[in-house]
Chain A
Amino acid sequence: MSKQLRTPAANVRGLGASRSGTGHYIRQRVSALALIVLVPWFVMSGLFAMRGGFDSAQGWLAQPLNAILAILTLGAAFYHMRLGMQTVIEDYIAKISTRQALLILSTFFTIGVFAATALSVLNIWISAS
């Protein structure tokens, strides 16, 4: 405490007490803007491709434009999901150790599943060309 020279007010000004809240707020909303465009495309385009069986689904992601849009959708979605789940965890889990463990798990889950899905799409695209 003795080394804390900044006043409590100084800590709160600028980026706020947590020092990172504004960034989270903006990222959550910018990724939402991207998803407004990407999700309807993904649902409509994907729905018809998946229904046609394996060849149709594979052919869908073999198209460069579809593969690129799918990877963008997955990136924006998993990014948005990580940010949203962070808010939920921070709201409900008061115990610091549990909270941190869940935040780390959520980061691993979203980045892990994003990598797995994006690399799968990339693999389908590259294998086809």
Chain B
Amino acid sequence: MASTQSTDERPLSPHVQIWRWHATMAASIAHRISGVALYIGSALIAALIISIAMGPDAYETVYGLILSIPGRIVLLGFTGALTYHFANGIRHLIWDGPGTGFSPGVASMVSIFNFLFATAATVGIWAMAYFS
């Protein structure tokens, strides 16, 4: 550790910016981003539950906030994050438990399926909320 400057020109490992984007990579990053989004968004669900204990006025205030346009956008993002993290989380458990699904073809296919599942499930949940 005499010098911080490297003297020989060894190749550096590829950094995230020079990787070609592919499905498994996007799925992995999306899993982490959706997890952080759910962490932050949990405050909204928590506020709704606490407001029920506080009484009708508090509930209507929080519920009205969620039903506002910015509230709906946040809730839509939360639904997408939840359904995606759910589907991709099951894939992680299959990776860690039975230990299958690692081959590039299957892993890519499952990644694309998870994105499609999240889209379909989000549309499904919102359709149910609107039309039931």
Q: Which residues of A contact B (CB under 8 A)?
A: 29, 32-33, 35-36, 39, 43, 47-48, 50-51, 54, 57-58, 61, 70, 74, 77-78, 81, 84-85, 88, 113, 116-117, 119-121, 123-124
A91 to chain B: closest residue by CB: B32
Given the known interface contacts A113-B46, A121-B49, the answer about A50 and B35 at a Cβ–Cβ threshold of 8 Å is: no
Q: Contact at B82–A39, with CB atoms within 8 Å?
A: yes
Which one, B60, B86, B129, B132, contacts A54 given CB within 8 A? B60
Given the known interface contacts A51-B129, A120-B50, the answer about A57 and B59 at a Cβ–Cβ threshold of 8 Å is: yes
**Chain A interface, DSSP helix/strand/loop, else mixed:** helix
Contact residue range for chain B? 20 to 34
Pick from B3-11, B12-20, B88-96, B104-112 the stretch touching chain A: B88-96
Given the known interface contacts A29-B96, A32-B89, the answer about A113 and B43 at a Cβ–Cβ threshold of 8 Å is: yes
A122 to chain B: closest residue by CB: B53
Q: Contact at B90–A47, with CB atoms within 8 Å?
A: no
A69 to B86: give the CA distance in the assembly, Å: 18
Query: Hey, which chain B residues are within 8 Å of A47, CB to CB?
Result: 125, 128-129
Which one, A54, A84, A120, contacts B49 given CB within 8 A? A120
